[in-house]
A and B are shown apart, each in its own frame.
Chain A
């Protein structure tokens, strides 16, 4: 059944070379844990991506119930967590995944650092990786405000005061981030937009660049 549908499409569009080019390539021995167990360190990049996919999916589903409004945000999160079937699981995936993605990214960065993979010709991919790192921090920072509980509110206040300490431009940065003079209604809508539209879009673009470069340059050689 699947084969017939696939063949029908393939006859018309010749799709085999497309996915072959993306998926069908050899895993060098030095990155294959079946050959050298210590090669498991090469898994952290893929694990980071796996958790990112989970974040995006669980986030999309959370958005079915969540409202970015100071009166209702807290109650909508409380409702989706306590009244909706599997709400605790789906919110849990997003909540714990947000921390785990940082851990995986850190381990991946350590692997790249200690295998020297950032060296020529892969310097650009290190820079893109750093941009991904900052986008992730931004997602964590903006997402943390969304439940609009005390922890969320004061964490964001602290973040705003830190922004405020930047010489000269600090107060302006703070007001721009807050969308006003206080952490309030406009901060919440702004953080929501950044969290679910702007940063995920930037993240996907950077991940695309990251993977295209890896495909072009191949994985770095053995130590």
Chain B
């Protein structure tokens, strides 16, 4: 699953050279120390340079990078005592969207998120993090449980979209997502949503109606994939880069548009290169918002959420 991004070439070349030199050094065939130090500084500068000028289409590729941390990584890195809860009590258990009780620092939460895999086998089992209706219905069941136990809900969004399949349609993919949007709008506990990788359309929003919506710096969030948009509006999938540009799907654009509340910064080089640093930053940002939301009364919390989503959009009157 090694996949090299074209625009990362200058970084990757330096990384490879450094790896070789360090290997030599570790085997006692030394004499490279000063060269290593120089190259490390150079690498640092190149990473910053490459990541300073990243295009929306390149961001799409980072957001989908096979080494980008997935929900399971975050569960290991920043949560403790995860008690997974299975099933929607109607049809089955979706492996593409999971949830359960978890601790984030000293905060007890209900954690719900899309569940991409790290390799082909995992991804087949987890359907590449694309949920069927039973996933959204499980999510809603867990949110209602959170309401009963007075726990805040934390959702992690990372999906290409809700699964487009015959069975998913039969079991009411549309109704399941619409129901979640309706119920999340009035859920009586705080909801913090974090877009960690791909925020793919209704499948993302189906667990994304948050009092606070956060986004990792190189994540994307869009009404349609750039490929899908290019196919329809340019009638040619090869215009994906143009579509990515036009759709304004990066964290910076979404902050401008008022759709997200805060960007969680990633080190230059991205979360796929610095998973632990990214996770640590995320942990502190999420905790900060949980504490703030925890101070609001239920009435105030629900009124704020209603106002927040009522204000979404731009039109002329």
* Bound pair (A, B): no
A interface residues (Cβ-Cβ under 8 A, vs B): none
